[in-house]
Amino acid sequence: MTSRRLVLTAFGRIRAGSLTVAEGGATRRFGTGDPHARLDIHSPKAWPLLLRGSRGLAESYARGYWDSPDLAALIRVAARNTQQIDNFRRVLRPVLAPFHWVTGTSRANGRRASREQIAAHYDLGNDMFELMLDPTMSYSCTLFERDDMTLEQAAVAKLDAVCDQLALDPDDHLLEIGTGWGGLAVHAARTRGCRVTTTTISQEQHDYAVTRVHDAGLADRVTVLQQDYRDLRGRFDKLVSIEMIEAVGWRNFGVFFRKCSDLLTPHGAMLLQAITIDDRAYEVEKRTRSFIRTYIFPNGCLPSLEVIRDNVTRETDMRMLALRDITSSYVRTLSEWRSNFELHWPRLRQLGYDERFRRIWRLYLAYCEAGFAERRIGDVQLLLAKPGYRAKSLLAAA
Active site (annotated) includes residue 141: no
Burial 239-255 (b: 16+ CB within 10 A, else e): bbbbbbbbbbbbebbbb
Are 125 and 363 in contact by the 8 Å Cβ rule? The answer is no
CA distance 182 to 173: 16
Among residues 141, 194, 260, 368, which one is catalytic? Answer: 368
HSE-CB of 145 using CA atoms within 13 angstroms: 10
CA distance 139 to 136: 9
DSSP summary character for residue 225: E
User: Cβ neighbours of residue 356 under 8 Å, at least 6 residues apart?
Assistant: 62, 63
HSE-CB of 336 using CA atoms within 13 angstroms: 24
Q: Which of 236, 97, 215, 254 is nearest to 173 (CA)?
A: 236
Residue-wise DSSP of 290-347: -HIIIIISTT--PPPHHHHHHHHHHH-S-EEEEEEE-HHHHHHHHHHHHHHHHHTHHH
Q: Which of 207, 134, 166, 90 is nearest to 394 (CA)?
A: 166
Amino acid at 236: F
Q: Please list the active-site residues.
A: 368
